[in-house]
Each structure stands twice: as structure tokens, then as C-alpha cells.
Amino acid sequence: MAAAYRTGPVDAPVAACPGWDVTALVQHMAYIHRWADFAVRNAAAAGPGDVAEPGTGADLADWLRTGAAMLADDLAAVDPHAPTWHPFPVERTAWIWARRQAHETSMHRWDAEMATIGSSSLDPRLAADGITEYIELAVPRIAQREHVELPTVTVRIDCTDVADGDHLLGPVDQPVAATLRATAERALLVLMGRAPGSDFEIDGDVGAASAWLSIPGW
């Protein structure tokens, strides 16, 4: 992402984040790394003034790299099962931050590269884990935040390019109404609002697939 920022143009719009340009995206990610790092180090939510801001004229690429390195170091030093704070409706243990920030950084790096150089890619194994995280963390957060009722049907997401690439989305005690097939990268990009649902090959109940693909975004 830092390299994309330096490549520019830094005012290029970011399609997945309406109203943002690359500069705003990098500022956001640099802040989020420090915000997450405060939670990792203190097992508490950051308050006013707890998260540093870049100084006037700061090199935002360096600011991004510095915060990311600090977060990575602190995550490496903490017990993954140590208590922490985070705003998600799952267990409050430190490993959640490692996974969340890996995926958030990877996706926003994709956003930055698409905005500046017009192409990007996601590692298939990381993308497949991103689908698992989407199901375990994003879906309940979307339901909580948006006050929506989730579909009661179950669909299978089949990642065609990774081993153990099957994911169940919906009640696990229900029969599978449809199978959605794509590479892990394309599947995650669809779920994260970066690609159209038509990127999935759908077998079975198209309505069931559409119900899940139409819930509000993460």
C-alpha cells in the first residue's frame, strides 16, 4: 500500500470506499494499525488522544509502514489467547486482531493498487481464510450493526483453487440450497463488495444465493 501511495496519483478515487481517495485510504489504514495496536498492548479501547496522528508534512507512506511494523511486533509478542478489547461480536482474545488486521490491510492494499496502477491480486490461501473470517466475524457484525435479519437458507462457497476451500454460509443444520463457485480471491472480493455476484458460478437455488449476496456490506 505504501508503494501504491508513492506511485500515485494520491488523489485517485478508491472505488470500494466512496468519497475516499488514496490519501484518505492510507491515512485510515495507518490510523487503524495504531488503534488496533493500542488495544493489543492495553487490552482496552483507545480513547481521545491515545492514537498518534501524522505531523504536518509527514511522509504518509513511512507513517503507514511504521504503524504496521509496530502492530506486527506487538502482535508477535503477545499471547494469542490473551484478553483484549475489540468491537466485534466474537471472543475478545488477541489473535482476533492478528487475523482482522491481516485481512483489512490486504484488502485495502488491493484497493490502493487498483486505484493507482489498475491491477492487484490476493493470495489464495489468505483469501480463503478471509472468507472464513467473513462468516465468523463480519456476518454477525453486519446483523448487529445494520439490524437486519440474515437469510435462513444455507449456501456453500466452493473455492476452486485451494484445498479445503468449502465454506458454509447460513445455518449449519440446514441442507445446502446452492453452491457458489469461484477462486478464493474472486469469492472474497464479491463478499467484500469489490466484485459483482456474477463472478460466482451458481449451482442450485439462485434465490438463496442472491439472498446472501444482497445483505449490507462489511
The ranges assigned to domains in the chain are: 2-116, 124-213
In this model, does residue 113 exceed pLDDT 90? yes
Quick check: bond before 54 cis, omega within 30?
no
Mean pLDDT of the chain: 96
If you ran DSSP here, which 8-state letter would residue 170 be given? S
Q: Closest Cα partner for 25 from 66, 55, 61?
A: 61
What does the pLDDT average to over 76-90?
Answer: 96
In this model, does residue 16 exceed pLDDT 90? yes
Contacts of 186 (CB under 8 A, 6+ apart): 195, 199, 200
- pLDDT tens, position by position, 129-151: 999 999 999 999 999 999 999 99
In this model, does residue 119 exceed pLDDT 90? yes
The pTM assigned to this predicted structure is 0.95
CATH class of 124-213: alpha beta
Share of the chain above pLDDT 90, in %: 95
The domain 2-116 is placed in CATH, from the list 1.10.760, 1.20.120, 1.25.40, 3.40.50, at: 1.20.120
> What confidence score (pLDDT) does residue 58 get?
84
- pLDDT tens, position by position, 195-218: 999 999 999 999 999 999 999 887
Angle subtended at Cα 135 by Cα 132 and Cα 138, rounded to the nearest 5 degrees: 115
Distance CA 75, CA 26 (A): 21
In this model, does residue 37 exceed pLDDT 90? yes
Distance CA 68, CA 74 (A): 10
